[in-house]
Structure 1
Amino acid sequence: MFHGFERKSIRTSGTEINLVTGGHGPGLLLLHGYPQTHAIWHKVAPKLAEHFTVVAADLRGYGDSGKPPTDQRHTPYSKREMARDQAEVMSALGIERFSVVGHDRGARVGHRLARDYRERVERLAVLDICPTLDMYETTDMAFASAYYHWFFLIQPADYPERMIGADPDFYLSKKLKYLADESAITDEAMAEYLRCFRDPATIHASCEDYRAAAGIDLDHDRQDRDAPLDIPVLALWGEKGIIGKLYRPLEVWQDYTTGPVTGGAVPSGHYIPEEVPERLLAELSAFLEG
């Protein structure tokens, strides 16, 4: 995977971030979701690198990135700290202005990155999410049933950690089978996800990510409620997934930016970069070069 890309490990003020980078042109940061790693981008990154300087990074707590100790408020796993990592990574690579494409958790980090580093993020693409604040503040039975893991993973340590850790391969395989097309995840990518997720530190850190989202992240989001972004946002979601059934994503995202919001449903489940890479490339080409 990522033929021709360079692998790097960059020390930030809070941890160490593992990434691959390649290509030439404007900066483009790709951020993965749960329970994956930067490997989710392997089908689209080479094509994007023909026009952009692509950086595909592991979020703190995931993949081969660092997993710093936590605290009672789960501050080290707040989206603010995770976004700070990525801003510092891009600075270390000499890229001061860039666009962000995030899937799942990575889209939530991308949203916070665009808020906290407004002068640096030019465009934001979010894949298969609505904003965390909206999702928690409108929770109902349909949401809680579909997103049960949001409420399981936030339970106090080390309850979910022990249950997941008893058979991490089974848990991760079941999570990834939310795909509309299970064959979309290649054997090589699956092996990478399993390798990383078998680490108890990854299981714990990923739970901390969700615990932060249910607490300190909501505090930060509420503080920003009256300060919308002013950049273009592309929102895509899988028509076979959940987001489009529970929300009107374009309308929701329009409340978060004064810039234009475009996008729509694509013929996939949750894992858009692996299920419909060609469609994603077409959408990103129009959005990023527009």
Structure 2
Amino acid sequence: MTPRIPGFDYQRVTVADGVALTVAVAGSGSPIVLLHGFPQTHLMWRHVAADLATDHTVICPDLRGYGDSDKPVDRDGEQYSKRTMGNDIVALAQAFGHERFALAGHDRGALVAIRTALDHPDRVTRLASLDVLPTLDMWDVMHGVTAAIGFHLYLMAQPPGLPEQLIGASPDAFFAYFLDGWTRDPQAIPADIRAAYLAACRAAVPSIVADYRASANIDIEHDRADRAAGNTLRMPVTVLQQDWGAALGFDARALWSAWAPDLRHETVTCGHFMAEESPAEIIRATRELMKR
């Protein structure tokens, strides 16, 4: 049986034509939506969500294309744009009666959160981003041999066919590479959670690839349009990142400052999966954000 977050109610919520998300909900009070990263599901928030639910309404979906949520075929190149996935989140919050909500995302979920906040500044009250750069900056800073750390970005950016075939031939080996290699504390992802992540990814190869492919195409177009128009994130923003900017030769705080005038940027000493490796630090930073 797939693990669940104890004390959370699980529902299926329709957010678009033919697309429903599986979501875990608990608590009461001001709402916050937590969006998971790759190669995970909503379960990555289990520690943080349980704490926040003591005085907030916490909404933890599996993103479109991931986990137990629907996985529409990407025939037009837009099914997994972060704009489309962000619209899912707005519809999800509305389904629970929330016109305005705080938003926190990790990795892929952070990209969805950023796009949602840019597209819907009247909806998103606060934004937290864990260990990612905005899409346009991410591609700009990766160059030379240091870009090898992001080999999967280039693989999944290729046209439909080859990436799906290569990853689908050995999905557990592919996804486990990131779960194991990006974690400083292996105990942070217990065996049952790791198995759940691998099973979910194994069943979602085409949609996961489509999500990444969108970030090399339509997502960049949307970011460029916002940058050209001078659009920024209007709400308080907290960014938590590893110090991988130093290794890749860029100033993460400076890049983020161009997008977020009201920014708090912190370096977290842990692996990539910080909500599982350093939940206390993420809880602290998120609670501080909710008071701003």
What is residue 72 of structure 2 aligned with on the other side?
68
Specify the SS of the correspondent of 1:135: helix
Separation (CA, whole Å) in 2 of partners of 1:91 and 1:190? 32
| Structure 1 residue 229 displacement after superposition | 1.8
Separation (CA, whole Å) in 2 of partners of 1:252 and 1:229? 13
- Equivalent AA in structure 1 for residue 132 of structure 2: I
Separation (CA, whole Å) in 1 of partners of 2:206 and 2:279? 30
| Structure 1 residue 244 displacement after superposition | 5.2
Q: TM-score, normalised by structure 1?
A: 0.94
Q: What is the number of equivalent residue pairs in this alignment?
A: 284
Assess if the C-alpha contact under 8 Å between 1:37 and 1:58 holds in 2.
yes
Structure 1 window deviating more from structure 2 (185-194 vs 53-62): it is 185-194
Matched, 1:93 2:92: no
Separation (CA, whole Å) in 1 of partners of 2:123 and 2:247? 33
Matched, 1:230 2:231: no
| Structure 1 residue 288 displacement after superposition | 1.4
Separation (CA, whole Å) in 2 of partners of 1:273 and 1:288? 17
Assess if the C-alpha contact under 8 Å between 1:128 and 1:243 holds in 2.
no
Separation (CA, whole Å) in 2 of partners of 1:76 and 1:45? 28
Give structure 1 stretches of 5+ with no counterpart.
none
| 1:181-239 Cα distance to aligned partner (Å, 9 max, x none) | 1221012211211221121xx11101001111101111111111111121111010124
What is residue 30 of structure 1 aligned with on the other side?
34
Q: TM-score, normalised by structure 2?
A: 0.93
Q: 1:51 aligns with which of 55, 61, 64?
A: 55
| Structure 1 residue 87 displacement after superposition | 0.5
Q: For the structure 1 residues 281 and 244, does the alpha-carbon distance in structure 2 shift closer, same or farther, using more than 3 Å as the test?
A: farther
Query: After superposition, where does 1:190-209 map in structure 2 within 5 Å?
Result: 190-199=194-203, 202-209=204-211
Q: 2:258 aligns with which of 248, 255, 260?
A: 255
Separation (CA, whole Å) in 2 of partners of 1:263 and 1:224? 21
Separation (CA, whole Å) in 1 of partners of 2:71 and 2:129? 24
Separation (CA, whole Å) in 1 of partners of 2:146 and 2:47? 30
Separation (CA, whole Å) in 2 of partners of 1:158 and 1:2? 35
Q: 1:214 aligns with which of 213, 216, 228?
A: 216
Separation (CA, whole Å) in 1 of partners of 2:113 and 2:91? 14
| 1:83-102 Cα distance to aligned partner (Å, 9 max, x none) | 00010000001011111110
| Structure 1 residue 263 displacement after superposition | 2.7
Give structure 2 stretches of 5+ with no counterpart.
none
Assess if the C-alpha contact under 8 Å between 1:19 and 1:58 holds in 2.
yes
| 1:126-172 Cα distance to aligned partner (Å, 9 max, x none) | 00011110121333115521111100111122212121112212212
Specify the SS of the correspondent of 1:70: coil
Separation (CA, whole Å) in 2 of partners of 1:244 and 1:275? 21
Structure 1 window deviating more from structure 2 (142-151 vs 202-211): it is 142-151
- Equivalent AA in structure 1 for residue 86 of structure 2: A
Query: After superposition, where does 1:32-181 map in structure 2 within 5 Å?
Result: 32-72=36-76, 74-177=77-180, 178-181=182-185
Separation (CA, whole Å) in 2 of partners of 1:127 and 1:115? 17
Separation (CA, whole Å) in 2 of partners of 1:248 and 1:234? 16
Identity %: 37
